[in-house]
Amino acid sequence: MRKPEKDSTLGRYSNIKIFKLDVTCLDEVKDAIEGAVGAFGKIDVVVNNAGIGTYGALELATEQDIDWQFAVNTRGPINVIRGFLPHFRGNGGGMFINVSSYMGLTTAVPLGSLYNMSKFALEGLTEALYYELKPLNIDLRLIEPGGMTDNDFVNNVVWNNKSELRIPAYDALAEKVQHRMASAPDSVKTEMAEIVKIVEGLANRESNRFRTIIGKAGNDLLTMRSSLPIEEYLDKIDSMFR
C-alpha cells in the first residue's frame, strides 16, 4: 500500500503482511519485494493491481497528468515484474496476473485516451512477455474488469483540466461522459468478490486462461468490437455520446 498507516482491516490477519509500496518508486519496489520474500520465503504469484484513471481532452492534459497515467498503469507493472523476475527464475517458475481493463481492448468511452493508452500498452506488454517468460516456467495472465460495485471509480477519476486553458469545444462531450459514468447502474458493474474469485482461480491454476474478460458489459462490448469493422465500431460508440 502507498500508505500502510491508513489500513484498518488487513493488518488484523496474521497471514497478511503489509508493505509500503508506490509502484512508481523503484526503491520502494525493491524494499517491498525484499520484505515479502523475507516474510514468506517464496512468492508464487504476483498480482499487479495498482491503477489510476485520467480522463478528459488530451489537449487539456498537463505534462504531469500524462506522465502519471503511464507511470502508474504501465511503468508500475514493469517495475514490479522486473523486480520479481530474479526470484521467480531462482524458484524455477511463478505467475504474474496483470489487472488491465476491457478498455485495454476497446475504446468504449470518449475522452479516455490516456487511460486507454496505458491499458493498451499493458496488454501488449503482457502478451509479449508470455513468449519471453514461458521458457522460464513463468506464466502471464490478464484480467479485464470494468466498473465495480465496491469501487468508487467515478469519484477517483482525475479529469484533465488546465486551469489556465478552457476550451468550450470539449464541454458538451465531457458532460455526457461524466453523466454516463455517474449514472451507470449496478447491473453493468461487477462485484469485487467475483473478481477476487477469478484471480484466486488463476493463481491456483484452476483456470489457464490467458485473458479473462469479467462481466456481461465487457463481454458484450468485445463481441461487438470483434463483429464489426473498426470504422463501424468507432462510429457506433461515437453515436452513443452525441
Over 90: is that where the pLDDT of 182 sits?
A: no
**Cell (9 digits) for 155:** 469519484
Cα 4 from chain centre: 21
Q: What is the pLDDT of residues 55-104, one digit of tens each?
A: 999 999 999 999 999 999 999 999 999 999 999 999 999 999 999 999 89
pLDDT of residue 162: 65
CA distances to 126, 135, 140, 183, 186 from 120, in Å: 10, 25, 16, 26, 25
Residues of the chain with CATH 3.40.50.720: 43-239
Over 90: is that where the pLDDT of 191 sits?
A: no
- Residues belonging to the active site: 115
Q: Please name the residues in contact with 130: beta carbons below 8 A apart, sequence gap of 6 or more.
A: 140, 210
Please give the model's pTM, rounded to 2 decimal places.
0.92
43-239 topology per CATH: Rossmann fold (3.40.50)
| DSSP secondary structure letter of residue 206 | S
Q: What is the pLDDT of residues 93-126, one digit of tens each?
A: 999 999 999 989 999 999 999 999 999 999 999 9
Over 80: is that where the pLDDT of 149 sits?
A: no
